[in-house]
């Protein structure tokens, strides 16, 4: 049996640390707002967005998927005052197109409304609280070019997709681990 000292021990430590970093930061959930009913007026789809949000726990790194008819609705990122009053004077972000994916990357409250006149007043607004986890900090963002995401959940599902592995996180962990292991190997040989 090999004695875990020297180069073998250093490589093992690097491998374990890289694996833990990958596992901790590579899982995220994607939630379809309103589940199978999507993002629409509560009077037409029966969704109470406050109740919907309260029934989920969001973490940094998760994402929200807004599916809606593009000629009828949109998504605006707003502050708490605009969310409460439905007076949308200066939204922080605007998205249209019928399928909007927003990455939740900052811990705290986030507010979203439909910017079509009267829709926010009729309850088409969403407040979510994002909890801390291993994701990287940054603002809630609308991707410049939205990458197609998985199909909406089938009827009766919770709206949360299974956690997905982040290839970028994995690749970065492997590269960092290899570089550190190589460096340590060279230092131990000297």
pLDDT: which is higher, 69 or 90: 69
User: What is the pLDDT, as a whole number, of residue 90?
Assistant: 87
User: What is the pLDDT, as a whole number, of residue 179?
Assistant: 62
Q: Give residue-wise pLDDT tens across range 23-54.
A: 444 578 999 999 999 999 999 999 999 999 99
**Cα of 10 vs its chain's centroid, Å:** 34
Instruction: Write down the domain spans for the chain.
Output: 1-26+167-190, 28-164
Class of domain 28-164: mainly beta
Q: What is the mean pLDDT of residues 10-16?
A: 54
Distance CA(92)–CA(138), nearest Å, equals 14
Distance CA(85)–CA(45), nearest Å, equals 22
Sorting pLDDT into bands at 50, 70 and 90, what band is 190? low
Strands 108-113 and 63-67: unpaired
User: What is the pLDDT, as a whole number, of residue 146?
Assistant: 41
Using the predicted structure, report yes or no on whether residue 181 has a pLDDT greater than 70.
no
Q: Give residue-wise pLDDT tens across range 138-180.
A: 444 444 444 333 344 444 444 444 333 444 455 555 565 666 6
């Amino acid at each position: 049996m090999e004695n875990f000292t020297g180069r073998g021990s250093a490589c093992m430590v690097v491998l374990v640390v890289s694996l833990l970093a990958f596992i901790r930061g590579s899982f995220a959930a994607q939630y379809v707002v309103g589940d199978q009913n999507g993002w629409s007026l509560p009077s037409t789809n029966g969704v109470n967005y406050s109740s919907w949000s309260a029934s989920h726990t969001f973490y940094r790194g998760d994402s929200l998927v807004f599916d809606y008819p593009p000629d009828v609705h949109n998504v605006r990122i707003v502050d708490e005052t605009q969310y409460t009053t439905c007076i949308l004077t200066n939204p922080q972000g605007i998205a249209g197109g019928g399928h909007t994916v927003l990455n939740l990357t900052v811990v705290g409250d986030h507010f979203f409304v439909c910017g079509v006149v009267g829709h926010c007043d009729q309850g088409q607004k969403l407040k979510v609280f994002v909890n801390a986890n291993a994701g990287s900090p940054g603002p809630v963002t609308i991707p410049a070019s939205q990458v197609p995401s998985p199909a909406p959940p089938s009827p009766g599902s919770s709206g949360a997709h299974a956690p997905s592995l982040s290839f970028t996180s994995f690749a970065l962990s492997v590269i960092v681990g290899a570089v550190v292991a190589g460096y340590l190997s060279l230092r131990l040989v000297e």
